Structure 1
Amino acid sequence: MTRFLAAKIGESLLAIWGVVTIVFFVSRVLGDPAVLLLPVGAGQQDIDSLRAALGLDRPILEQYFWSLLSMLKGDFGMSFQHQRPAMEVVLERMPATAMLAATALVFGTLIGATAGAVAALRRGTISEFIVMIAALLGQATPVFWLGIMLILVFSVDLGWFPTGGSGTWAHLVLPGLTLAVFVSASIARLLRSSLLDIMREDYVRTARAKGLMPRTVFFWHIARNALIPVVTMIGIIAGELLGGSVVIETVFAWPGVGRIIMQAIQNQDFPVIQAGVALVAAIFIVINLVVDLLYGVLDPRIRRR
């Protein structure tokens, strides 16, 4: 188990370094932030002075080397736009993103798991047909379109919820529901397929032939093994949600991590871009590390590979 854990941690650190490196070089081709920060019509001398003050006049490899050393210390530099530490700018948006992600993930998982189990246990009935049609529509519908439709119906026409922003539970309902629809649809389809595959296994037929109670067969022999691909899906979705659902945060003016990263890209605020993407990558990788460890709990054979 120790070797398994050490290998996964090493892979995670290597992945974070790779993401940070790619983001550093890609962000440098976005343009010159000094031009955006200065007033329109600023002279070349003013632009050169600001670039020197920001450290953008040094060779690109030198910038990368010192930036990497600073990142190892947790210092991503000062935000060009906000004039505050870049990681501080990103972290103050994290609670809003975490709240939105947790709401969507909890309700989406509960609804999706229930729907997927119903579709598998009632195969060939109208219940399975309804669940599969709903899941297909949930996955096929663009989240931005669904978000706009929810705003038009429940905010503009009915006036039940705010059109955007944050601050109260009412602001959370529509963006959380929009994301939960996609989450539940993905989980329902995957869980149904996984359950049906496990039900055909020989050991399940043997367990039933031994006279075990249907509930025992389902929860101990079927559900436990069927959860492995579902756990993977939940981990991936959780990483995406915590990384900032950029489209939904933009549609609902939700002050989350995804939105601040998009604003930083538009303003060419390199430190905030690097801090935001590094945080998102770290969260995503840590969640996947936890998922890998859960594999070892669900299936002890994995730990011996």
Structure 2
Amino acid sequence: MPNYLLTRIGESLLAIWGVVTIVFVVTRVLGDPAVLLLPIGSPAAALAELRSQLGLDQPILTQYVHFLGQAVRGDFGNSYQYMRPAMSVVLERMPATLMLAGSAIIIGIVLGGIAGLLAAIKRNTFVEYIVMFLALIGQATPMFWLGIVMIMFFAVNLGWLPTGGYGSFSNLVLPAMTLGTFVAASVTRLFRSSILDVLREEHVRTARAKGLRPKTIYVWHIGRNALIPVVTMVAILTAELLGGSAVAETVFSWPGVGRLIVQSIETQDFPVVQAAVCLVTTIFVFINLLVDIGYSLLDPRIRSHGGGHE
């Protein structure tokens, strides 16, 4: 187990380093930050002075080492738009994103788990066909379109909920349901398939031959093994929602990190983009590390062979 953990931690650190390096390269390719900070038509002397202050006149390798040192400390410079540390701007938006992503995951797990189990139990029946059809529709529906439909129905026509905003539970319902619908559809399809795969395994037939109660078989022999791929998917979806919920956050005017990234790209506020991307990546990698640990706890064969997700 210690060797397995050390290997996974090493791979996680390598992944974070790779993303930080890509961020550095991309921001240098996009253009000179000094040009963006100064007014159009500024004299060359002012441009040269600002480039010197920002360290942009140094060799690229020196800039890269300096950038890595700052990134380790969470220092990505000041936001061009907000005129304060970029990371603090991102961290201010993180609670809103965590709230939205967490609510969507809870909705997705509850609805998807129930639907997936129902579809597996009612296999080859009308119930399974309906559940799987709805799951397919949930995965195929564009998130922005679903959000607009929910706004039109629940906010405009019925007047039950606000069209957007942030600050109360009612503001959270529609964006959480929009994201939760996609999560539920994914969990439903995977959980059903996982249960059916486990049902065909030898140890389940042995448990039935021993005369164990159906509840015991489903909980200990089927449920535990069927959860392994679901745990992976839920964890990865959680990490993706932290940085990939920009569409829902934009549609519902939710002040999260995803919306901040979109706004910062539009205004060319590169320090904020760098800070947000690196922070979301770190969270994503950390969650995947937890997935690997959880995977090994659910299936000891993984850590004994040092394998990955197979």
**Is TM-score (shorter-chain normalized) higher than 0.5?**
yes
Q: Does 1:63 align with 2:72?
A: no
Match of 1:4 in 2: 4
Corresponding letter in the other structure for 1:294: G
Alignment partners' CA distance in 2, 1:82 and 1:66:
23
Correspondence 1:281 to 2:252: no
1:159-188 Cα shifts (integer Å, max 9, x gaps): 222222211111111110000000000000
Counterparts of residues 1-305 of structure 1 (less than 5 Å): 1-305=1-305
Query: Separation in 2 of the partners of 1:266 and 1:38?
Result: 17
For residues 123-169 of structure 1, the C-alpha deviation after alignment (integer angstroms, 9 at most, x for no partner) is 01121111101000000001011111111222222222222221111
Q: TM-score, normalised to structure 1's length?
A: 0.95
Q: Shift of residue 41 of structure 1? A: 4.8
Question: SS at the partner of 2:29?
Answer: coil
What secondary structure, in the 3-state scheme, does the structure 1 residue paired with 2:255 have?
coil
Report the secondary structure of 1:82's partner residue.
coil
Tell me the amino acid that sits aligned with residue 162 of structure 1: P
Query: Which letter does structure 1 place at the counterpart of 2:119?
Result: A
Distance 1:43 1:172 in 2: 49
Question: What is the CA distance between 1:303 and its match in structure 2?
Answer: 1.7
* Cα separation, 2, equivalents of 1:166 and 1:244: 18
Task: Indicate how the Cα distance of structure 1 residues 7 and 109 shifts in structure 2: closer, same or farther if over 3 A, else same.
Answer: same
Q: Matched residues in 1 for 2:204 and 2:96: separation?
A: 44
Distance 1:264 1:43, change over 3 A: same
Structure 1 169/213 Cα, relative in aligned 2: closer, same or farther at 3 Å? same
Q: TM-score, normalised by structure 2?
A: 0.93
C-alpha distance in 2 between matches for 1:94 and 1:297: 30
Corresponding residue SS for 1:28: helix
The percent of aligned pairs where both chains have the same amino acid is 62
Unaligned runs of at least 5 residues, structure 1: none
Deviation readout 1:23-75 (Å, 9 max, x if unpaired): 11112222344444444554544444444443334343322221111122332
Equivalent residues, number: 305
Say if 1:244 and 1:259, in contact at 8 Å, map to a contact too: no
CA distance in 2, matches of 1:25, 1:292: 30
CA contact (8 A) 2:74 2:275 kept: no
Q: How far 1:269 moved relative to its partner?
A: 2.2
The unaligned stretches of length 5 or more in structure 2 are 306-310
